[in-house]
A = this chain, B = another copy of it.
Amino acid sequence: MKKKYLFTPGPTTVPPECLLTMAQPIIHHRTPEYMKIFGEVREGLKYVFKTENEVLTFASSGTGAMEASVSNLLSRGDKVIVVKGGKFGERFAEIAAAFGVDVIPVDVEWGRAVEPEVVRKKLAEDSNVKAVFTTLCETSTGVVNDIKEMGEIVSKFNAVLVVDAISGLASVELNTDEWQVDVVVSGSQKGLMIPPGLSFVSVSDKAWDLVGVSNLPKYYFDFKKVKKAQEKSDSAFTPAISLIIGLRQALGMLKEEGIENVISRHACLAEATRRGMSGLNLELFADRPSNSVTAVKVPSKIDGANFVKRLREKGVSIAGGQAQLKGKIFRLAHMGYMDKFDILQMVSAVEVELREMGYELQLGKGVQAAEEVFLKEIV
């Protein structure tokens, strides 16, 4: 017998209610039955995104929606600001380059949040900038950026603000309309608790103006086509039916808990994880840590890649570092379908495995620190 535990920052655990709903016989999508389901999904997405705007839905992984936000908003030769500072920030720059868009990079040291003032200066320097691209939670470093402040800044310019919230939506606070975030990109396999294969984009009126003049080629990810179909609860192309049906269930669960409570739960679970790690004398990597994933520095003398591998072989999936952070950090997700008892298992797994690998720690200290958070707070 080997039980499996999934503590990776996407995919996250899918609730059994959703798995069983998706295991029902498939239905056709050009039917009143499906359209009713999709209508509920559209409403549920607006609720979670905190927007009045239509949330466009695609059958693709998150990167597809990132590409869509480039190809639909921009024209060849347009200038955009891209906040780097992690693997996913850099991906926006790669996509823009692939589509012939000029990138003004904001280079941020990996593990640090962007300073919104830097973006303000770059915007002030060049009135031709059409968009600012940034991540909400940079999954590769565990950093959460100050999107509220960014929204305030960008809204004063002609540019639109595009936020990759793939691993932040429904786990980290994000008030799309209130904060004046023009475009929010997300995916199904993180806070939304569904298997990967769906991606989403919310689009403000200011952003639709850019869509109107964009000349970059697109077809499958064409915002106008997709919006036109969605407004009739129809789909431009065959949707990923089973995932949409699972998503309706997951959105219902988020609605029932209440999105504010969902966000507080993540804050509490994240705090317990961070305290747990500190209780083991481990150092956090991010200067502004996200409530969706915690990046922890691998202690010296421990082989980081081996640590992740050994845990996996025991049934516990956590994530290592990516790209330049390979072997240097490990990442613990507390995102989606997780409660405090999951956190205790996760902290305990780290504790026991590090000790087995020869790291000096007092057994139970990490778990104790996490429990203290839970006893002070309401989950």
Interface hub of A13, A26, A237 (most chain B Cβ within 10 A): A26
Contacts of A218 on B, CB cut-off 8 Å?
A: 98
Contact partner of A14 among B26, B67, B319, CB < 8 A? Answer: B26
> In the assembled complex, how far is the CB of residue A338 from the closest CB belonging to chain B, in whole angstroms?
14
What separation, in Å, do the CA atoms of A312 and B220 have in the docked complex? 29
What separation, in Å, do the CA atoms of A371 and B247 have in the docked complex? 42
Q: With A31-B317, A61-B240, A64-B59 in contact, is A14–B25 under 8 Å at CB? A: yes
What separation, in Å, do the CA atoms of A337 and B278 have in the docked complex? 54
Contacts of A189 on B, CB cut-off 8 Å?
A: 26, 238, 241
Instruction: Determine how many copies of this chain the complex contains.
Output: 2
Q: Answer whether residue A111 sits at the interface, using C-beta atoms and an 8 A cutoff.
A: no
Q: Answer whether residue A63 sits at the interface, using C-beta atoms and an 8 A cutoff.
A: yes
- Contact A237 B63, beta carbon cutoff 8 Å: yes
> In the assembled complex, how far is the CB of residue A326 from the closest CB belonging to chain B, in whole angstroms?
12
Q: Answer whether residue A155 sits at the interface, using C-beta atoms and an 8 A cutoff.
A: no
> In the assembled complex, how far is the CB of residue A89 from the closest CB belonging to chain B, in whole angstroms?
15
> In the assembled complex, how far is the CB of residue A178 from the closest CB belonging to chain B, in whole angstroms?
29
Contact partner of A67 among B62, B219, B238, B239, CB < 8 A? Answer: B219
Q: Answer whether residue A20 sits at the interface, using C-beta atoms and an 8 A cutoff.
A: yes
Q: Answer whether residue A217 sits at the interface, using C-beta atoms and an 8 A cutoff.
A: yes
- Contact B11 A25, beta carbon cutoff 8 Å: no
- Contact B13 A25, beta carbon cutoff 8 Å: yes
Q: Answer whether residue A53 sits at the interface, using C-beta atoms and an 8 A cutoff.
A: no
Contacts of A31 on B, CB cut-off 8 Å?
A: 312, 317
What mask results when residues 6 to 33 of chain A are scored 1 for a CB within 8 Å of chain B, else 0?
A: 1010110110000110111111110100
- Contact A13 B28, beta carbon cutoff 8 Å: no
Q: With A59-B197, A196-B238 in contact, is A6–B27 under 8 Å at CB? A: yes
What separation, in Å, do the CA atoms of A271 and B22 have in the docked complex? 33
What separation, in Å, do the CA atoms of A217 and B196 have in the docked complex? 25
Contacts of A10 on B, CB cut-off 8 Å?
A: 238
Contact partner of A237 among B11, B61, B100, CB < 8 A? Answer: B61
> In the assembled complex, how far is the CB of residue A367 from the closest CB belonging to chain B, in whole angstroms?
24
Interface hub of A10, A27, A187, A238 (most chain B Cβ within 10 A): A238
Contacting residues of chain A (17-59) with chain B, CB-CB under 8 angstroms: 19-20, 22-29, 31, 58-59
- Contact B61 A238, beta carbon cutoff 8 Å: yes
Top 5 closest pairs, chain A to chain B, by CB: A197-B240, A23-B23, A195-B242, A61-B238, A63-B237
Q: A11-B28, A22-B22 are in contact. List 5 more A-B contacts (CB 8 A).
A: A31-B317, A59-B64, A64-B237, A67-B220, A197-B241
6 A-B residue contacts at CB 8 Å? A19-B23, A22-B23, A59-B61, A61-B237, A63-B238, A195-B243
